[in-house]
């Protein structure tokens, strides 16, 4: 075991996080769900979602037997919804191919939807103590600074260098503790902004600190301008003051979620309502727009309020549904749609 690993383990024993919900009874299934939720999402945000998810789906069989709507409803607001769809698909694959027993070997884990090399290694290491290196965002940042690795970690050559370093530092024993330790270091001390180098257990060997260049590592992603897209969303209400939702297609933005109907221009709202609901409704009233940030673009939503005096109660197989405030928890909706409806029903 090298000095880097020894210092991390000693620090983690005293200062690391030991009370996270997925650290209690760390089965492969429980660790898997946490690892997927933690992708692109901070621990504080994940914890309440994880607790609700585990209460509803305590094991992989319960998740496999659930409908995708149930899964998406519990995921609503967490973002990156492909993660939820992959969870559901992977659970069904485990039920079909592994007799409902969630695997803990890297090779089997990587055959499941949504599980790549680092996630598979984390599940195997944290749940079964198998000796595999991980390379998530926190670990990349720690290693980039400690070894002053130049370049953006998303570049293939830089990533290969980081994998070699990750494997060199990962000890043959105490792998679960070491894996948690290096993730904790990146999450709590070696943060993206204002790293707390004075408290870091490996600061004396950090090349970036020695050079006074902590802020330069990891290298930044090559710059590119994020475009802004604009859509008009219809807040269609019926006589019972319920709002119409439309299921999104199986591919693309918010795939499979329930959202508000969209039209290219405000003037097409009546036409959409007439074709889909048999009534054009009132002239649309435009409300204040809201902005939702994606990784690669910015989305501007222009809400148009439409009231239907006569609306079909049964919508058949159209992928449409009327919902009221009490039914929100049963429909997986994107965060900006939740914001719009929350503001509507709060008034």
Nearest of 5, 1, 2, 3 to residue 185 by alpha carbon: 5
Would you place residue 240 in the very low, low, confident or very high pLDDT band (cuts 50, 70, 90)? confident
- The per-residue pLDDT for 299 is 93
Tokens of 261: 């109907």
CA separation, residue 259 to residues 79, 264, 294 (Å): 14, 15, 16
Q: What is the pLDDT of residues 4-24, one digit of tens each?
A: 999 999 999 999 999 999 999
Average pLDDT of the chain is: 93
* Structural contact between residues 69 and 331, judged by C-beta atoms closer than 8 angstroms: yes
Q: In CATH, what class is 3-216?
A: mainly alpha
Q: What is the pLDDT of residues 225-239, one digit of tens each?
A: 889 999 999 999 988
* Three-class DSSP category at 18: coil
Would you place residue 281 in the very low, low, confident or very high pLDDT band (cuts 50, 70, 90)? confident
- The per-residue pLDDT for 250 is 84
Q: What is the mean pLDDT of residues 157-165?
A: 97
What are the boundaries of each domain within the chain? 3-216, 228-346
Positive or negative CA dihedral for 102, 108, 110, 113?
A: negative
> Cα separation of 134 and 111, whole Å?
17
Q: What is the mean pLDDT of residues 51-78?
A: 95
Backbone angles phi, psi at 286, to 5 degrees: -90, 130
Tokens of 82: 């492909």
State which of 153-167, 215-229, 234-248 shows the largest mean pLDDT: 153-167
- The per-residue pLDDT for 85 is 95
* Structural contact between residues 283 and 270, judged by C-beta atoms closer than 8 angstroms: yes
Q: What is the pLDDT of residues 104-144, one digit of tens each?
A: 999 999 999 999 999 999 999 999 999 999 999 999 999 99
Nearest-5° Cα angle at 253, 249 to 324 = 70
Single out the catalytic residue among 15, 35, 107, 230.
35
Half-sphere exposure for 288 (CA within 13 Å, toward CB): 5
pTM (2 d.p.)? 0.85
- The per-residue pLDDT for 224 is 77
> Cα separation of 211 and 208, whole Å?
5
Question: Among this protein's residues, is 246 annotated catalytic?
Answer: no
Would you place residue 318 in the very low, low, confident or very high pLDDT band (cuts 50, 70, 90)? confident
- The per-residue pLDDT for 315 is 72
Q: What is the mean pLDDT of residues 195-222?
A: 95
pLDDT higher than 90, residue 247: yes
* CATH fold for domain 228-346: Nucleoside Triphosphate Pyrophosphohydrolase (3.90.79)
- The per-residue pLDDT for 8 is 97
Tokens of 324: 């009221």
- The per-residue pLDDT for 314 is 62
* Pairing label, strands 228-237, 298-307: parallel
Domains 3-216 and 228-346 share a fold: no
> Cα separation of 200 and 269, whole Å?
57
């Amino acid at each position: 075991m090298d000095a880097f690993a020894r210092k991390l383990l000693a620090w983690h024993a005293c200062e690391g996080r030991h009370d996270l919900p997925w650290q209690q009874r760390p089965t492969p299934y429980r660790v898997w769900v946490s690892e997927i939720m933690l992708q692109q999402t901070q621990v504080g945000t994940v914890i309440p979602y994880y607790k609700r998810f585990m209460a509803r789906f305590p094991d992989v069989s319960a998740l496999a037997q659930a409908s995708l709507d149930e899964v998406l409803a519990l995921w609503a607001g967490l973002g990156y919804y492909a993660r939820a769809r992959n969870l559901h698909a992977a659970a069904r694959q485990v039920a079909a191919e592994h007799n409902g027993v969630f695997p803990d070997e890297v090779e089997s884990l990587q055959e499941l939807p949504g599980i790549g090399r680092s996630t598979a290694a984390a599940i195997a290491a944290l749940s079964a103590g198998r000796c595999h290196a991980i390379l998530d965002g926190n670990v990349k940042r720690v290693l980039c600074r400690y070894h002053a690795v130049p370049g953006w970690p998303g570049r293939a050559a830089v990533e290969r260098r980081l994998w070699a370093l990750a494997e060199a530092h990962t000890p043959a024993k105490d792998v679960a503790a070491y894996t948690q330790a290096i993730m904790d270091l990146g999450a709590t001390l070696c943060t993206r902004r204002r790293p707390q180098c004075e408290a870091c257990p490996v600061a004396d060997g950090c090349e970036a600190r020695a050079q006074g260049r902590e802020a330069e590592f990891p290298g930044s992603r090559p710059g590119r301008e994020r475009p802004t897209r604009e859509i008009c969303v219809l807040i269609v209400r019926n006589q019972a003051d319920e709002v119409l939702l439309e299921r999104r297609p199986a591919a693309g933005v918010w795939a499979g979620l329930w959202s508000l109907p969209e039209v290219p221009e405000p003037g097409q709202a009546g036409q959409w309502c007439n074709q889909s609901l048999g009534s054009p409704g009132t002239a649309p009233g435009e409300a204040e727009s809201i902005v939702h940030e994606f990784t690669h673009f910015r989305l501007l939503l222009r809400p148009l309020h439409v009231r239907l005096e006569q609306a079909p109660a049964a919508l058949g197989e159209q992928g449409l549904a009327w919902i009221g405030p009490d039914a929100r928890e049963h429909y997986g909706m994107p965060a900006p749609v939740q914001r719009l409806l929350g503001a509507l029903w709060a008034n």
